[in-house]
Structure 1
Amino acid sequence: MPSYIEEIINNGLASSGSTTDSFTGFMNSSRYWKLDKQYLASVAEKIRSSGHMFEKIESIDVLYSCLNGLAVAASITKSELLADELLILTRVYRREFLKECKLQELVFIGVLASGSFSSITLWCKYLGQYLSELTYLDLDYEEQQNLYYLIKSICNLEPRLFTTISKAYVLIEEQCR
């Protein structure tokens, strides 16, 4: 990684507060250079120390871009630690996503972040938990149907996911009838 890029990443992670801009250098760099565990630990710590909240979010699209970028970074770097922090971050911002009718984007973030798990068992556990939590949200009928069909599609692609989501899947299936 070029030194000037490393400086941008370090400045973002060392800045006070936790804005979406703090993570931009890290997210973009994860696609091009191998980042060591120091960066991953720093990002996870910055998210944790901010109380899993960003300062000054301009719009839901900016929030989605940041969460999506962090999910991609977690997947590319195979950072289970970052995926776990992202799970908590999405819990905090679910209401904002649902107000803007962006349930599909919320599911997509979880699917991307689950790519950080190289074991199928851990992948199923993470994504099963992520998707199960979404099924227990106060969703209107149309959103429940959309979520049901998204989960059903994912489970059809990887049937082993049913082992970790079966209870929530049956409940949402019943609600959609």
Structure 2
Amino acid sequence: MQEVSNLYPDDKNEFYTLLNSQLKALLDNEPDVIPGLANASALLMGALQNINWAGFYLMKRGELLLGPFQGKTACVHIAVGRGVCGSAVQKDEVQLIPDVHEFPGHIACDSASRSELVIPLHHKGSIAGVLDIDSPLTGRFDLTDKAGLMEFAAILEELLDWNTI
């Protein structure tokens, strides 16, 4: 059986065009947040090479709470401003971290993680959660990954009914 990630184009721009079209198809006529994010995390885990965690944290009661994900067990609660995810919320900006061990206050849920990309998700002008992707490789993510996954996040923001959480 051929690994799913081997079926994707090597060119990163083509890869993200295909990945984002697959996400749109997965979300077609299914606006509920939880199944949408569950399928989105499974899509990422199957498509992206050299990652060890892909998932979501959702804003609940003023903190990030673990949402749908693929990978090893994870931290359940993350305070705003703590770690890479909490910093993404506090600053309301994408965090592309080449080496998490150099990030002040990094939360090591999986000691194998070396690099991380976190993208805030918005609903009605507020942060609803974050997309979090970890890799065991230092410097795994680049600006093309950032742009492609920001589009992935924008699709989630647009097509999911965030009022259902």
Same-fold status (TM-score > 0.5): no
Q: TM-score, normalised by structure 1?
A: 0.29
Structure with higher RCO (Cα < 8 A, 6+ apart):
2
Q: Look at both structures and tell me which one has the larger radius of gyration over its CA atoms.
A: 1
Q: TM-score, normalised by structure 2?
A: 0.30
Instruction: Report which of the two has the higher share of strand.
Output: 2
